[in-house]
Structure 1
Amino acid sequence: MRVNNFFICISGCLLLVGCAGTTKRPVAPVADASSVQRPVQQPSSTVTQPADKDKNIQIRAYEPSVPKAVAPVHSSAVTSLVAQAQLLESAGDLTAAVATIERALRIEPRNAHLWNQLAHLRFSQGRISPAADLAMKSMALAGGDIALKRDNWRLIARARRGAGDVAGARVADRKARMLH
């Protein structure tokens, strides 16, 4: 008797679980592939060459758009500090220039341009390894700024070359060239 009650209880639970999972869900509409509108890429140049006497073949060369450099956006305080750091650097006071950029970074810690500038200053001080690390930090924050990323890779290549890592410098140079 106990075995029958056990099986009845189990089969009742399975029936409830099975019924609970059969809710009707709306089906997403499927668009016809021919009705989907795709953006049309304008060719940069078109060359027409006669293939046969009756036909003309158009050859279009694809040229990707050149990414624009992103101008650094600073608050007025940071703009003032950057200008002061540039004056200090041109006067040869790298230690004061570094301190000024570090003050700017306390205001805008996610500004990739400030990290890049600090990396260049550290490299100028002869602190090669921190310069490469700071350039990598700048690269992580650079987003779509291709020019800034290229500059960071070039600085990393110079730092690796200065540290004797010729193979690492070649890799960094290659990455800088790939960013067009």
Structure 2
Amino acid sequence: MKISIVSLCLLLSIMLTFGGCAKPPVRNYPRPGSSIKATRPQPGVPAKTAADAPKPARRADTLPPAPERMPPPSYDKPLASIGTQPKADTAAGESYLLAATAPLADQARRQLANGDLDNAQTTAERAVRIDPNNADLWHLMGRIQLARKNFSQAEQLARKSNLLAKGDADLQARNWRLIAESLRGRDNPGAEGAMNKAHELESR
């Protein structure tokens, strides 16, 4: 009886020893999130968007047709040549210049008659700037310079007036008288010849 109890105890101890060393079976469970592979953008590489996706090529038959060129308009009337103006426009321009310069010329003559030579010259210069092709205004400028005893300038202004006074014998005669007086003021012997030209023009 004692042997059987000892044997039973020995058997139990052996079983307990092997039972404690035995390990439970290990099961391989999948890790959470291991089935989804997350792609992280690499540094320095821009992320692709929907705008970066390749666009389908546009077919040539869908392009709008090119606009047709319109022919230039035709002119029934020939264009005027360069440097010419219609007579109506020229007459209107002359009337405008005359209306603008006549009051200034009258004012300069009154100032000259009153001995106000500085203002007379200023007023006459304003008129000449408005109408530089007016021969009578250049003659007026010459008379003002003669009164100021600027004989050389008076002669030059009178000759300038003669260049513009084509066909106006009366104004040309007055210019030659002005030239003669300017030459006489400088004791120039050409004053007599200039006065003779003035007489010839006045006798026509």
Which residue, out of 191, 198, 202, partners 1:169? Answer: 191
Match of 1:120 in 2: 143
* Larger relative strand fraction: 1
Amino acid at match of 1:111: N
- Letter of the 1:137 partner, please give it: K
Give the distance between the partners of 2:115 and 2:193, measured in 1 at CA. 32
The answer on 1:153 being equivalent to 2:176 is yes
- The answer on 1:79 being equivalent to 2:83 is no
Paired with 2:99 and 2:116, the residues of 1 have a C-alpha distance of 23
CA deviation profile, 1:24-59 (whole Å, cap 9, x unmatched): xxxxxxxxxxxxxxxxxxxxxxxxxxxxxxxxxxxx
State how many pairs are aligned.
108
Q: Secondary structure at the match of 2:192?
A: helix
Q: Give the alignment's TM-score, normalised by structure 2.
A: 0.50
In structure 2, C-alpha distance between the alignment counterparts of 1:135 and 1:91, rounded to whole Å: 22
Report the AA paired with residue 173 of structure 1: M
Q: How far is 1:91 from its partner?
A: 2.4
Equivalent-residue separation in structure 2 for 1:88 and 1:176 (angstroms): 26
Q: What is the RMSD of the two structures over their aligned residues, measured on CA atoms?
A: 1.6
Query: What displacement does 1:75 show?
Result: 2.1
Aligned mate of 1:142, from 141, 150, 165: 165
- Per-residue CA deviations over 1:62-103 (Å, capped at 9, x if unaligned) read xxxxxxxxxx97522211111221222222211110111111
State the shift of 1:126 in Å.
0.7
What TM-score comes out, normalization by structure 1 length?
Answer: 0.57
| Residue segments in structure 2 that go unaligned for 5+ positions in a row | 1-93
Identity %: 41
1:9 paired residue number: none
Over alpha carbons, which structure has the higher Rg? 2
* 2:191 counterpart letter in structure 1: A
- SS of the aligned residue for 1:75 comes to helix
User: How many Å apart are 1:140 and its aligned residue?
Assistant: 0.4
Task: Determine the C-alpha separation between the residues in 2 that align with 1:98 and 1:139.
Answer: 20
Given candidates 141, 151, 155, the residue that maps to 1:132 is: 155
Q: For the residues of structure 2 that align with 1:110 and 1:120, how far apart are their CA atoms?
A: 17
Quickly say closer, same or farther: Cα 1:145–1:92, change in 2 above 3 A.
same
Instruction: Spell out structure 1 runs of 4+ moving beyond 4 A.
Output: none
Per-residue CA deviations over 1:137-161 (Å, capped at 9, x if unaligned) read 0000001000000000011011111
